[in-house]
Amino acid sequence: MSDQKTRTLENTREATESSHARENLRTFVNEELDRYSKKIIPLLTIRHDLFDVNQTEYDPGLPIVEQLYDHPSNNIDFMHHDLGLRRGNVLNYHETTEHYDRGHSAEFAERDRRYRQAILETAQDLGFISPEPSVATNPLDRSLGILDSTFEKVSEPVAAIVINGAAGMANIKRMRDAIRNIESGAINTNRIILSGGTRPVGDAEKGRVKPPYRAGDTEFELTRNAAEDLLGISFGDTFDTFSVEYGDGLVARHQSTTAAIGDRVVTIDVVEAPFDNTRTLDDGSPAKRINTEEAFLAVNPIIESIPGAIVMESHDTWAPWQNLIAHKIYSLTQGRNVYPAAPFNEERVYTIEDNGSEVTEITAPQDVVDEIIKTYKQLVQMSTELQAD
């Protein structure tokens, strides 16, 4: 066969695989969008029933459902305004603008309680938090505040577990979950990749890292220290570099070593991902740190020649949105299957005694509802983009 015919067949095969990947992602996104809509519209209705929502576009005298357009893309900006609490993601997580345990009066406290319960039920139904209060069986997991793994075994080989860097103890929780899922045989892989940015770590965040684990001066150092402390390894002081496929001439720093996990020898990579300083936030201000998409893109030079699926490792309420970004990067452009792995935080769902009855409660419901609407907005955006192609 001539080289030209071979190239033609290769291009045809790649085009077919790309088309299948796009169609599979479109189906997944639209199914998720329908599932979310059925839960979020009632939550929006409850919010309006209980509180005066500042600068809302909805008429408080009419049922919310009667004011919605048929397609979610025409509603999302209004819904995001009324449910989102980080001013369009300009604020960082935990800088939400409302709380639902304010207790200004008995009547106000009751409204807060009802809304907390609505958020709790919605978040559980959508998989953002644990379905019930629980405690891990493993002492190490209990000490980290994560519940037992619920990750279902992946039947295909996995190119890598990719861990997006985060704040405080989050990197240790995510790394621990990756380790135990390899040990149990749930994930068949020989590689874990941690991707962290250059974001400075302040004293308050350092203080949240519990001994014997080490903090770090940057997000990258937090991720690297999590791997070293849990596995008893050292990356040393030597780095190599490679170009990333976003921004203008940006270069990532990279270290690698190996560790014994269960009966495997696993390659552990840490990537210091640069952020694109030409990217802007929703309010037009320049980015000051990497986002999730850049963290995932930064590992592509490592995995591009490794066949197999990707396990996206996150934890708790952050996982659903990060799972969508992982699908966008690895499913849509590379045709890989993506499996989200995410332990739930023990403290997120708990019980209290109220008038002699045991009641399930939720920690930081304002942060959870903001993450829910952020994920819903991402689903709407991806659905629109995939329908247009």
Q: What is the pLDDT of residue 183?
A: 98
CATH fourth-level superfamily of 139-344: HUPs (3.40.50.620)
Mean pLDDT of the chain: 91
In the DSSP assignment, the letter for residue 69 is -
Name the phi and psi angles at 178, rounded to 5.
-60, -45
Q: What is the pLDDT of residues 239-268, one digit of tens each?
A: 999 999 999 999 999 999 999 999 999 999
* Nearest residue to 339 via CA among 167, 144, 150: 150
Q: 21-35, 179-193, 259-273: lowest mean pLDDT where? A: 21-35
Query: Residue 350 is encoded by which pair of tokens?
Result: 């708990």
* pTM higher than the cut 0.85: yes
Residue 52 has pLDDT above 90, yes or no: no
Taking residues 207-220, what's their average pLDDT? Answer: 96
Q: What is the DSSP string of 297-348?
A: HTTHHHHTT--SEEEEE--GGGHHHHHHHHIIIIIITT---EEEE-PPBGGG
CB 220, CB 228: distance < 8 Å: no
Domain boundaries, the chain: 30-129+365-388, 139-344
**Per-residue pLDDT for 334 more than 80?**
yes
Digit-coded pLDDT (tens) for 342-383: 999 999 999 998 888 899 999 999 999 999 999 999 999 999
| Alpha carbon distance 330, 323 (integer Å) | 10
Beta bridge partners of 257: 268
State pLDDT tens for residues 53-108: 888 999 988 999 999 998 899 999 999 888 877 665 556 656 667 777 766 788 88
Question: What is the model's pLDDT at position 54?
Answer: 85
Beta bridge partners of 312: 162, 340
pLDDT tens-digit readout, 113-142 = 999 999 999 999 999 999 999 999 999 999
* Strand, coil or helix: 184: coil
Is residue 15 scored above 50 in pLDDT?
no
CA distance 296 to 314: 12
